[in-house]
A = this chain, B = another copy of it.
Amino acid sequence: MAPAASSSAPSFSSADALLSSFRFERVLSEDPRALLVYLLGTAVPEGQSERAPCILKLEKTPYAPDEAPSLATPGAWSKLQTVTCNDIYSTSLAWFAPGRTTADVQILSICPATEKHVKKYSMQVSRLVRETPELYETVVKPYMDSLSPSTISWVYNILDGTAEAENVLYRDDDPETGFVLTPDLKWDQKTLSALYLLVLTQDRTIRSLRNLRTRHLPLLRKIRQECERVAMERYGIEKGELRFFVHYQPTYYHFHVHIVHLSYLSFSGITVGQAHLLDDLIDSLSLEVEASNSGGPAPLQSWFERRTFTYSLGVEHPLYALLKEKGA
């Protein structure tokens, strides 16, 4: 007679015992970046004779703090495979042990690296700032005006059709409600759960969401509707599967909308404060129209002009020192 396990007895006393009896059934779920996986199967708890459902979570571990230097030696790897070498950039794959089907680590190298490279990949310290309407007028607007118009000529090239024309998914040339829809460069155009599209508006007067007014509602609503329709037709995306958002501060000052798949979560671009849902922009402007129709007062009639925006900013960003100086 097999000894009856008490209800609080461990079902396994060792990882070996567990894995030796495990029979794989199916993958339950994976992280979008897939560094962890949940498996479902069965196993025979010690002291029992029947198989029982068993879930395994396998999660790759972070690097230990003192491990970093030793990784950059050939001795750390059982196998190294060069993938590409292009000028100063190269990509390789590395295996911790022989016999593993897939590489354990991807290695990217830049050599010779410039100061700019070093800065780009160095730890960015960020702080929250509060941009009041006054700080927008006295700090952010002058900063935008100081930037060379050439920094957004790539945008105008796309709008004018002189660049990336072959990538355009949808084009509407209306000067007020028109826009161009393209795949974002960050998307591999294959992995649907990481879908990333970009909308550039024809209207060159909207520099950021600070400039949005109720007259822009038709443009915003058209972007929401038409892009969802195009994505459904082209990629088989279902209603409610896409997240539309705008950044503030944006990286460049020509109004643009990011569109990503709802399950694409492993990137900081969707963080509250930086990201603003297009649906929320539309809702806020709609309430503004409602207020105006009821004879409402000025304060709520320029929502995006009156708002204080709180966002995180790298302390190396040119705006950070300027805003801090004025008490943001």
Contact = CB atoms under 8 A, between A and B. Distances in A.
Interface of A: 7-16, 18-20, 22, 24, 27-30, 33-35, 37-41, 43, 45, 52-64, 66-74, 77-78, 80-82, 85-88, 90, 92-94, 96-97, 100-114, 117-118, 121-124, 126-130, 238-243, 245, 262-263, 265-266, 268, 270-277, 279-280, 283, 287-288, 290-291, 294-300, 303, 306-308, 310, 312
Given A121-B29, A271-B265, A74 B8 contact: no
A12 B300 contact: no
A54 B111 contact: yes
A60 B58 contact: no
Contact of A59 (B108, B266, B273, B303): B108
Given A12-B90, A53-B112, A272-B271, A130 B290 contact: no
16 contacts: A10-B87, A11-B87, A12-B109, A20-B74, A22-B73, A34-B62, A55-B118, A58-B107, A61-B104, A64-B102, A67-B101, A128-B240, A272-B276, A290-B300, A294-B298, A296-B299
A129 B68 contact: no
A303 B283 CA distance: 11
A130 B244 CA distance: 13
A61 B296 contact: no
Best-surrounded residue of A9, A14, A276 (most CB of chain B within 10 A) = A14
A64 B19 contact: no
- Please list the 8 inter-chain residue pairs (A to B) with the smallest Cβ-Cβ separation, ordered nearest first: A97-B97, A34-B62, A15-B92, A52-B112, A294-B297, A10-B85, A127-B240, A54-B111
Contacts of A29: 121-124
A312 to B, nearest CB: 6
A102 B67 contact: yes
